[in-house]
Amino acid sequence: MLAYVLRRFAYSIVVLFLATVLVFVLVAESGNPLAILLSNPRVSHRTILEREKLLHLNLPLWDRYWIWFSHAVRGDFGLTISNHAVGPELWQHFAITLRMIIPATIIAILAGVGMGVYAALRNGRVGDRASMTANFLFLSIPTFVIGVVLKEFVAIPINQHVNRTIFYTSGEQSPSLTGNVVQRLPDYVAHTALPVITLVLITYSSWAIYQRSATLDAIDSDYVRLARAKGLHPRRVLTRHVVRNALIPVTTVIALDFAAVLGGAIITENVFNWQGMGTWFIFGVGQLDINVVLAYLLVTAVAIIAFNLLADVLYGLLDPRIRYD
């Protein structure tokens, strides 16, 4: 197992390097970050030349890549077009996004697996049809629509009914928030609840559909029939033979869909005015800030590769027949 993980890690490094080259070329050729300055007649030519030198825009593309790569390896990612260090801004926004991504992913996995197994065990019944209808409904509704509906028809009525703020509809924390982590936790939860629910609803539904299909296939398999014929307890058959084997294809789907989770987080952050990585990325794209865009894409690429590596490791834990020789 360890040798396999090391091989996959080395392979992931190569993939990540090639991805950085491709992304850098595409982003660098997408436009001129100094276009706004060039269109301003009040900005002198000398100022523009100084900005080009500061951002290394006067160098060949390959030299610019290696300068950026050397900064990325050190973790500072260079400077923004406004002459601020990218690294501190990246980790600040990254921490805010993690407060939404981590609980949303955990809840979505539990809800998707649980709902999928529930629907499969009640195949063709009312519970199955109701859960599948809800899954396809949430899968077809755009993210921003779910966010707006939760704000207008859930959070605001509840807050007005109890005459206090239970769910915040904007921002990741209160401006005047002070104290230690424990003291700030209730405010974090009140601000995080709606974004997490939004991200869960657009994420878990597809996983539940895959889990239902995989569970039905496992229920109809020969090894499950054999386990029942041997007189094993139904709960043991369900947990050890049905759910465990049904999780293998779903694990692949979850790992591949993590990019969609990050994409949903971008929209969710804009709906709820969170100053996380998604909002920061959109601002960087609008400003043609190459280093900001590259920093975001690099972090998301690392996260996606890590999730796929984790999925490969989980295969061996879920199915002992899988060997990493």
Domain layout of the chain by residue ranges: 90-318
CA dihedral 296, 105, 113, 258 (to 10 degrees): 0
Instruction: Please determine, for residue 40, whether its predicted confidence score (pLDDT) is greater than 90.
Output: no
What's the Cα-to-Cα distance from 324 to each of 4, 247, 271, 317, rounded to whole Å? 6, 19, 44, 11
* pLDDT value of residue 48: 81
Q: How far apart are CA 241 and CA 219, in angstroms?
A: 9
In tens, the pLDDT along 190-231 reads 999 999 999 999 899 999 999 999 999 999 888 888 888 888
Q: Give the amino acid at 257.
A: D
* pLDDT value of residue 1: 65
CA dihedral 193, 279, 260, 186 (to 10 degrees): -20
In tens, the pLDDT along 240-289 reads 888 888 888 888 888 878 777 888 888 999 999 999 998 999 988 888 88
Tell which residue, 239, 238, 250, has the closest CA to residue 209. Answer: 250
Task: Name the band, by pLDDT with cuts 50, 70 and 90, for residue 302.
Answer: confident
Among the ranges given (50-54, 68-72, 109-113, 317-321), the one the predictor scored with the smallest mean pLDDT: 317-321
Q: With contact defined as beta carbons under 8 Å apart, do 277 and 299 qualify?
A: yes
Tell which residue, 201, 183, 216, 184, has the closest CA to residue 271. Answer: 201
Q: What is the DSSP letter of 82?
A: T
Q: How far apart are CA 194 and CA 143, in angstroms?
A: 12
Instruction: Please determine, for residue 319, whether its predicted confidence score (pLDDT) is greater than 70.
Output: no
Instruction: Please determine, for residue 149, whether its predicted confidence score (pLDDT) is greater than 60.
Output: yes
CATH 3.20.20.140 fits 90-318, yes or no: no
Which residues on adjacent β-strands are paired with residue 85? 79
